């Protein structure tokens, strides 16, 4: 009897230990096994849609082969427009092959990522799914000009029941809203956009320091900026004025990350991020940590919290934060729970502080969430073990 109970406890523990990762998926890896879908896979990556797909629990991805993608690319859309079009192919619901052929009343409408992210206006971004005579299933964006389905179901590529369905369709889904001209990265002025969206004080510092061009050049590959509030900057200015010109530049660049991150992506991707200031051994990195619904940025000197989303439109995301981010390369690391002390003066700010090599103080801040996940699994396992013992006493 004791051996059976022990085996049961071990079995439940192993089940719980894998429960959190059972629904995990990686669309890039899935599509890599299908060479005929390589172009679609590539553009999911460069538009950062792959990351959006991977972080969502219930989703359907409608892929097309390389020939169909070639037709899309022949139209020479900008990358942001291609992102909008491909977003139409990502549904916020599960539609495996079986469900597609059992659509209630022969037709249904589902929302796409294009609609869910707020890029589409009105009903744009919704897609009609219809059973067609002869066992076919058709797909048509709601705002399409076509009276007939734009594409039909070809085959199932990969399915994780009720979580992820990757299905191949015959053609690209398009709509006037998705195809509408979208400014390319080179057409955007970062500081102008920031000024109009509530980040004027920080934008003015970027312009005054002459680093605007660096931020603009990074837009091609995506850019995330963390903007301290006006009140925060005002209180920090005495420290800022004590920095050398080079260190002022580094501090401003430290608030930029050379990839696009939506708020959802930050919440699901805790860990270290390099910044625009990163250069060789001078890491200038910080840690993203989720604390409940909050996203925190830990530098070992200060911990800032994202308080608002100012801009979130690929390739640019700008978030307002409640503290100026202070790197250990310029400021002294926080001594335990005490507040951080700035290294005033040009000479003391030129190199890493004396506390910069103290890895022990930052062990928790560099965690990527694995410890939290392990604790949760162990707690679940212990709870289950106690429950089993109560139900089946020795």
Residue 350 is predicted with a pLDDT of 42
Distance of CA 69 to the CA centre of its chain: 24
For residue 145, what are its two tokens? 């000009």
List the Cα angle 226/229/232 in 5-degree steps: 110
Q: Looking at the whole model, is its pTM more than 0.95?
A: no
Residues 60-87: tens digit of each pLDDT: 999 999 999 999 999 988 888 899 999 9
55: Cβ–Cβ under 8 A, 6 or more apart, which residues? 264, 265, 268, 269
Which of 35-44, 53-62, 109-118, 231-240 is predicted with the least confidence, judged by mean pLDDT?
109-118
Task: Give the confidence band of 121 by pLDDT, cuts at 50, 70, 90.
Answer: low
Give the bridge partners for 159, in sequence order: 165
Residue 103 is predicted with a pLDDT of 82
Residues 291-321: tens digit of each pLDDT: 988 999 999 999 999 999 988 877 889 999 9
Cβ-based neighbour number of residue 374 at 10 Å = 11
Task: Tell me the mean pLDDT in the region 352-381.
Answer: 40
Which of 122-126, 240-244, 280-284, 324-328 is predicted with the least confidence, judged by mean pLDDT?
122-126
* 222, 259 contact by CB (below 8 A): yes
Residues belonging to the chain: 394
5: Cβ–Cβ under 8 A, 6 or more apart, which residues? 388, 389, 392, 394
Residues 105-117: tens digit of each pLDDT: 788 999 998 887 6
Summary mean pLDDT of the chain: 80
Cα 191 from Cα 278, distance rounded (Å): 21
């Amino acid at each position: 009897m004791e051996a059976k109970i022990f085996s049961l406890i071990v079995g439940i523990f192993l089940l719980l230990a894998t429960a959190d990762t059972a629904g995990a998926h990686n669309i890039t890896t899935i599509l890599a096994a299908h060479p005929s879908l390589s172009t679609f896979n590539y553009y999911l990556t460069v538009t950062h849609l792959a990351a959006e797909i991977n972080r969502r629990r219930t989703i359907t991805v409608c892929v097309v082969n390389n020939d169909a993608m070639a037709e899309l690319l022949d139209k020479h859309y900008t990358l942001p427009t291609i992102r909008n079009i491909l977003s139409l192919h990502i549904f916020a619901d599960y539609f495996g092959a079986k469900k597609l052929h059992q659509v209630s009343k022969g037709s249904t409408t589902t929302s796409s990522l294009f609609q869910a992210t707020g890029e589409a206006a009105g009903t744009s971004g919704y897609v009609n799914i219809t059973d067609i005579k002869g066992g076919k299933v058709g797909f048509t964006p709601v705002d399409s000009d076509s009276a007939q389905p734009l594409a039909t179901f070809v085959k199932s590529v990969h399915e994780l029941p009720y979580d992820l369905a990757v299905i191949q369709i015959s053609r690209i889904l398009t709509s006037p809203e998705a195809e509408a001209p979208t400014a390319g990265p080179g057409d955007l002025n970062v500081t102008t956009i920031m000024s109009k969206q509530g980040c004027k004080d920080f934008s003015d510092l970027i312009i005054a320091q002459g680093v605007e061009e660096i931020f603009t050049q990074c837009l091609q590959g995506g850019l995330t900026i963390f903007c301290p509030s006006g009140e925060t900057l005002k209180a920090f200015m005495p420290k800022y004025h004590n920095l050398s010109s080079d260190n002022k530049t580094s501090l401003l660049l430290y608030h930029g990350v050379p990839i696009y991150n939506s708020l959802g992506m930050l919440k699901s991707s805790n860990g270290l991020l390099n910044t625009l200031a990163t250069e060789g051994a001078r890491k200038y990195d910080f840690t993203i940590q989720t604390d409940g619904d909050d996203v925190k940025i830990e530098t070992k000197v200060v911990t800032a919290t994202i308080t608002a989303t100012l801009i979130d439109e690929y390739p640019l995301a700008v978030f307002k934060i409640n503290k100026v981010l202070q790197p250990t390369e310029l400021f002294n690391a926080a001594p335990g729970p005490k507040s951080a002390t700035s290294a005033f003066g040009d000479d003391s700010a030129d190199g890493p502080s004396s506390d910069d090599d103290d890895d022990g103080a930052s062990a928790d801040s560099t965690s990527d969430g694995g410890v939290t996940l392990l604790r949760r699994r162990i707690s679940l396992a212990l709870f289950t073990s106690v429950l089993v013992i109560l139900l089946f006493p020795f």
